[in-house]
């Protein structure tokens, strides 16, 4: 049951975390997260984070039953996630939690835009996920080694008997490739904000678990009018980050 967000619920509250959930029915479900800073007389700031497999990734997931992780993409806008959501949940938080959550959103977006995030239907529980992560990390290490040798020595790096580039472990640090799905990224943002939500791979299971931590269901039209339709509001998304496009579906 959705509850209308009354004015009294916002009295004295300036920072919120919102979650949009699309049920897993007649197609894939999805979950995304936003942080909101709202202060009377000042600009409202909304930062939305949503990862998904993209059209090609969705096709691969469908053909291989989600067994192979694919490159994660960033949604460039909150609009589709909010419009297609079956549940919108909101929770007031303090300024520290808000800043921690927003900082984690930035890290997720940066990692995803650099190609360091893989999307797996089963998240880290996919037995192939760890192997895929190590493979891409090794591949990026090899690329960096080749670049370093060419830039500084003008030659190709040494290879072992199998033709694999050899490099010292301390020669450079490569950002690890992480495996996520839409719910795990939402959970990561919530945890740093002090909201401990039990992990789930199914977006439809999210709403009751969120309610148990103090989230309140709100009507999405009410949510939109309060935070997005205001003349003094800005919605920050990953639209200016390379690799972000509008989502078509998620698994």
pLDDT digits (tens, 9 = 90+) for 23-49: 977 667 899 999 999 877 777 899 999
What's phi and psi for 18, nearest 5 deg?
-120, 150
Is a pLDDT exceeding 70 seen at residue 230?
Answer: no
CA 178/CA 115 separation, integer angstroms: 10
Q: Tell me, rounded to whole angstroms, the distance of Cα 14 from its chain centroid.
A: 23
| Residue carrying the six token digits 């740093």 | 192
Instruction: Report the distance separating Cα 53 and Cα 199, nearest Å.
Output: 20
Reported pTM: 0.72
What is the tens place of the pLDDT at every residue in 168-206? 655 555 567 788 889 999 999 999 999 999 888 889 999
DSSP 59-83: HHHHHTTT-S-EE-EEES-SHHHHH
């Amino acid at each position: 049951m959705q509850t209308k967000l009354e004015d009294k619920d916002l009295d004295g509250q300036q920072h919120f975390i919102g979650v949009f959930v699309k049920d897993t029915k007649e197609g894939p479900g999805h979950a995304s997260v936003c942080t909101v800073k709202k202060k009377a007389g000042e600009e409202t700031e909304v930062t939305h984070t949503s990862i998904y497999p993209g059209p090609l990734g969705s096709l691969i997931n469908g053909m291989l039953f989600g067994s192979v992780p694919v490159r994660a993409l960033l949604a460039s806008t909150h609009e589709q996630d909010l419009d297609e959501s079956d549940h919108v949940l909101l929770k007031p938080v303090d300024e520290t939690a808000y800043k921690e959550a927003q900082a984690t959103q930035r890290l997720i977006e940066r990692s995803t835009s650099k190609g360091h995030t893989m999307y797996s239907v089963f998240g880290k529980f996919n037995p192939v996920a760890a192997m895929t992560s190590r493979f891409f990390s090794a591949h990026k290490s090899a690329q960096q080694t080749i670049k370093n040798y060419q830039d500084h020595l003008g030659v190709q790096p040494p290879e072992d008997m199998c033709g694999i580039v050899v490099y010292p472990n301390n020669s450079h640090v490569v950002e690890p490739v992480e495996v996520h799905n839409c719910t795990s990224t939402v959970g990561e943002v919530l945890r740093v904000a002090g909201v401990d939500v039990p992990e789930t791979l199914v977006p439809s299971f999210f709403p009751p678990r969120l309610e148990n931590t103090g989230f309140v269901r709100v009507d999405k039209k009410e949510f939109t009018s309060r935070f997005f339709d205001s003349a003094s509001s800005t919605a920050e998304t990953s639209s200016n980050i390379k690799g972000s496009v509008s989502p078509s579906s998620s698994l």
